[in-house]
Amino acid sequence: MKQAYVDDCPYYLDDFLTNMKVVKDRSDRTEEAYFIDIRTFLRYLNVKHRAVSAETPFNKISIKDTPIEWLESFTLNDAYVYLKYLKDDRGNSTKTRARKCSALKQFYVYLSKKAKLISNNPLDDLELPHINQALPKYLSLEQSLELLRNIESKNQVRDYCIITLFLNCGMRLSELVG
């Protein structure tokens, strides 16, 4: 992942991602997700501060020269305006905004407490968007019995046992495989 963003990454973001990878032991996919989320934020700052022309497509905005001073002057209210931008202009779902918000909060903790590149963390009190938890979907007793009656395979006994475990224990596939 590192090579994919190294050419367009300000030093402080590169340092943060290195910290996430080495100290926090985050996976390559997590590191990439942090980069994408913070890159969106830095592109937003470039637009907000009119550092790019209005004709520049958002996904073509370079973040390499984004000044750390813009991060220092960012306020809690600016963060809520950014979240509104993500919802209204970018069409991000609540779950996506919550993930981006979480990445941004961790980024600011790193900048203020670990790297000490900014004097305070304006996002200490930033609330994550509330995500409604969906209720699990389940089969009725009749549907469960119908499913068990219609098992047709060369490993019918095994499959019957597997489906019975799923139905009665509510286990996940990965748990069963484990």
Q: What are the structural domain ranges in the chain?
A: 2-114, 141-177
Q: Which residues contact 86 (CB under 8 A, 6 or more apart)?
A: 40, 92, 96, 97, 100
How many whole angstroms separate alpha carbon 143 and alpha carbon 145?
Answer: 6
- Coil, strand or helix: which one is 62? coil
Which of 5-14, 20-29, 84-93 tops mean pLDDT? 84-93
DSSP for 123-176, written as a single string: TTTPPPPP-PPPPPP---HHHHHHHHHT--STTHHHHHHHHHHHHHH---HHHH
Average the pLDDT over each of 1-5, 82-86, 149-153, 170-174 and give the range with the smallest value. 1-5
Give pLDDT, residue 47: 96
Class of domain 2-114: mainly alpha
Let me know: does 49 contact 41? Beta carbons within 8 Å.
Answer: no
Half-sphere exposure of 59 (CA within 13 A, CB side): 2
Q: State mean pLDDT over 93-104.
A: 94
Give pLDDT, residue 134: 75
Give pLDDT, residue 170: 79
State yes or no: pLDDT of 5 exceeds 70: no
Give pLDDT, residue 172: 80
Task: Give residue-wise pLDDT tens across range 29-78.
Answer: 999 999 999 999 999 999 999 999 989 999 999 999 999 999 999 999 99
Q: How confident is the model at residue 9 (pLDDT cuts 50, 70, 90)?
A: very high
Query: Pick from 130, 166, 133: which is nearest to 148 by CA?
Result: 166
How many whole angstroms separate alpha carbon 111 and alpha carbon 20?
Answer: 12
How many whole angstroms separate alpha carbon 111 and alpha carbon 121?
Answer: 8
Tokens 């190294």 correspond to: 6
Give pLDDT, residue 45: 97
Q: State mean pLDDT over 12-37.
A: 93
Let me know: does 109 contact 16? Beta carbons within 8 Å.
Answer: no
Give pLDDT, residue 167: 86
State yes or no: pLDDT of 2 exceeds 80: no
